[in-house]
Amino acid sequence: MKIVNITGGLGNQMFQFALALSLKSEFPDEEVFIDTSHYHTIFFKHYKGINLHNGFEIDKVFPKANLPIAGMKQISKVSYYIPNYVLSRIGRKLLPQRKTELIPPYSKNYSYVEEAYQPGDRYYEGFWQCIINFEGIKDKLVEVFSHPEPNEYNSQMISEISSCDSVGIHIRRGDYLNEPEFCNICGIEYYKKGIELILSDGFKHDFYIFSNDIAWCEENIAPLVGDNEIHYVTENKGKQSCWDLFLMTYCKDLIIANSSFSWWGAFLNKKVNRVIAPEPWLNRDCEIDIYDKSWIKIKG
């Protein structure tokens, strides 16, 4: 039996869920569960702002994403059952690590952990943002992470994006402005270089902006695209924000941020010509296996 802990926002959840699918592919005769217990307690509403965003979203966003959810009995067999995000963070620091738990150091969140792919009972806690885990099941992930029927706005956006030389640009500000791990990597210079590279092909492009700070983009990104068309994707907010990710999967070119959200937009896009990604991915000296070999890395 294997159980993968799910926590964080949608992009992180997708990496963790994808690890569970990868384990199921590698060990078809073993039971593979996901642990969503951190999202289902009275305490969740109190601490919703702490890394938990809109709660567990996989089951609501992806109709084809189905894995059994572990209960107290299964979790207790391989780990500590602490169904509260904040208390579990404290407990992980105070309680001894059990032999059946695999909790790599933070520096291994973006690199391959060979120990993860061993048979037997195991509880997995981490972010698992390593492309090596998923390259062998990409077609499966494209299927599982396919979107439901779009509303009128997103249906129109899919039609527009698919019918032109579309360039999706993801710009994440807000929480990233003061986050030491990720800040100051995708600044204006990064986007300037990315747009210049796109325009070097000599064609006209339509730029689609996905951002939590449209006002900043209107002031700083719009001047960079010259006389090319620019479109701001503004209707997908709150629980509908996942549709920005889906729309990215239709773009012909992408300039992504160092964000798991736009990483998945690029990884799941089967029609993309060029993906431009920032280097480094984070402000930490550690091994990074997050880039697809075809992606173009640019330093800001």
- List, for residues 259-268, the tens digit of each pLDDT value: 999 999 999 9
- Looking at the fold, whether 178 and 285 belong to one and the same domain comes out as yes
Spatial CA neighbour of 256 closest among 165, 161, 169, 131: 169
62 CB-contact burial (10 Å; exposed 0-12 / middle 13-18 / buried 19+): buried
Number of structural domains in the chain: 2
Query: Is the pLDDT assigned to residue 50 strictly greater than 70?
Result: no
> Could you tell me the CA-to-CA distances from 33 to 23, 114, 115, 201 in Å, in that order?
10, 20, 18, 47
Q: Are residues 130 and 37 in the same domain?
A: yes
- Predicted model pTM: 0.93
68, pLDDT greater than 80: yes
Q: Which pLDDT score, from 0 to 100, does residue 148 have?
A: 94
Domain boundaries, position 106: 2-140
E-state strands within 233-300: 253-255, 274-278, 296-298
pLDDT confidence of residue 239? 85
Tell me: do 118 and 162 sit in the same domain. Answer: no
Q: Are residues 163 and 209 in the same domain?
A: yes
- Give the tokens for residue 11: 């992009």
Task: Measure CA 123 to chain center.
Answer: 21
pLDDT tens per residue across span 159-180: 999 999 999 999 999 888 788 8
Q: Does the pLDDT of residue 119 top 90, yes or no?
A: yes
Tell me: do 97 and 157 sit in the same domain: no
Give the whole-angstrom CA distance, residue 136 versus residue 126: 20
Last residue of a domain, one of 140, 174, 192: 140
Residues 7 and 98 in one domain: yes
Last residue of some domain: 106, 140, 174?
140
Residue 244 belongs to a domain with what CATH number? 3.40.50.11350
- Using the 3D structure, point to which of 111, 140, 169 is the last residue of a domain: 140
Task: Please check whether residues 193 and 278 belong to one and the same domain.
Answer: yes
Q: Work out the burial of residue 16: count CB atoms within 10 Å of its CB; fewer than 13 is exposed, 13-18 middle, 19 or more buried.
A: buried
Average pLDDT over residues 270-288: 94
Average pLDDT (249-253) is: 98
Is the domain of 8 the same as that of 132? yes
Res. 248: pLDDT tops 60: yes
Query: Based on the domain organization, do 161 and 268 belong to the same domain?
Result: yes
Residue 46 has a pLDDT of: 45
Both 127 and 216 in a single domain? no
What is the predicted pLDDT for the residue at 107? 87
Query: E strands of the chain, at which residues?
Result: 2-5, 32-35, 101-102, 122-124, 166-171, 206-211, 229-232, 253-255, 274-278, 296-298
209-225 per-position pLDDT tens digit: 999 999 999 999 999 99
Judge whether residue 95 has pLDDT over 50. Answer: yes
Nearest Cα neighbor of 1 from 128, 140, 100, 137 is 100
Regarding whether 78 and 59 lie in a shared domain, the answer is yes
Do 134 and 169 reside in the same domain of the chain?
no
Q: What is the pLDDT, as a whole number, of residue 52?
A: 53
